[in-house]
Amino acid sequence: MHFVPQSPSSPLPTVFLSVCEGAVFVEPCAVRTVLGSCVSVTFFVPGEGLAAIFHALLPREEEHKPDRTLGHAFRFVDRSIRTLLDELLARGANRRRIEAKVFGGASIMPGKGFDVGRRNIETAYDILSSSGLRVTASSVGGTLGRKLVFRTDTGEVFVKQIGRTVTG
């Protein structure tokens, strides 16, 4: 995660979220990221001052051999959701009030076999559902990347599709 200096036109500090990063936020900021086949899920707890987001590369941790380079908490969609949900609950969030939003999962090489974008989306919805979380909004699939801005103070997410396919 990289903190970007606050600009005069922006009332919030800006954070850039790279691939395989995620965090819980208790201070208001605007989190920016760019998605291709990767998936981000935002979590917002209205009235509790808690928000979270991750940028995951692959669907499920169990599908990969144990490897130190693959063990990062935010590399996999399933582990990312569980990690941030556990952290939100540990900070006192009420599970029933958590709003989840799903983004990304573009198909960057349709028809080439393993569609990681589609698998990332399916995994996100599966884990969120089995965790008892409701999805309140989404922008997923297709063949175009997305630029994303998540306001941690309001839970709003602004999405712009990118005019060309991107990876990550």
CATH of the domain at 115: 3.30.1330.200
Residue 12 lies in a domain: no
Where does 7-166 show beta strands of DSSP type E?
Answer: 14-16, 21-25, 30-35, 39-45, 50-56, 99-104, 134-140, 146-151, 157-161
**Number of domains the chain contains:** 1
Residue 13 lies in a domain: no
pLDDT value at residue 163:
73
Euclidean distance between CA atoms 57 and 158, whole angstroms: 21
pLDDT value at residue 38:
96
Residue 3 lies in a domain: no
Euclidean distance between CA atoms 74 and 84, whole angstroms: 9
Residue 61 lies in a domain: yes
pTM score of the predicted model: 0.87
R_g of the chain computed on alpha carbons: 15
Mean pLDDT, each 10-residue run in order, the chain (168 residues): 50 94 96 97 96 96 64 87 97 96 87 81 98 96 95 97 64
Q: In the chain, where does DSSP find H-type helix?
A: 77-90, 116-130
Range of the domain at 64: 19-26+35-142
Residue 138 lies in a domain: yes
Euclidean distance between CA atoms 30 and 15, whole angstroms: 6
pLDDT value at residue 109:
67
| In contact, 76 and 22? CB cutoff 8 Å | no
Residue 116 lies in a domain: yes
